[in-house]
Amino acid sequence: MNRKMRVVLLVFFCFLLWLYFAIYESSIDNWWTVNEIKQATEDTVQIGVSLVKVLVGAMIFIITGFLIYLLLRKRN
């Protein structure tokens, strides 16, 4: 398997791992969460996933993967 595919698979796996922890294992107080309060009343709170935060996280992982690929390419 060539380097490009290894980097793509590594970044994709890390993105899915981050997304799982950012949705299910985090609270609203964490800075890396993608959860947001959609609607709040006196006795109930409705929490949802913010699409903007997911897209920003995806862009960060894409840029990181591209930089890792460039670093590995220059090394050899």
Average model confidence (pLDDT) for the chain?
Answer: 90
Taking CA atoms, 56 is separated from 25, 43, 51, 60, 61, in Å, by 19, 32, 9, 6, 9
pLDDT tens-digit series, residues 38-52: 999 889 989 999 999
According to the model, what pLDDT value does residue 14 have? 96
DSSP letter, residue 32: T
pLDDT-derived band at 32, boundaries 50, 70, 90: confident
4 — pLDDT class (breaks 50, 70, 90): confident
Q: 14-37: b or e for each residue (b if 16 or more CB lie within 10 Å)?
A: ebeebbeebeeeeeeeeeebbbee
Residue range 6-28, pLDDT digits in tens:
899 999 999 999 999 999 999 88
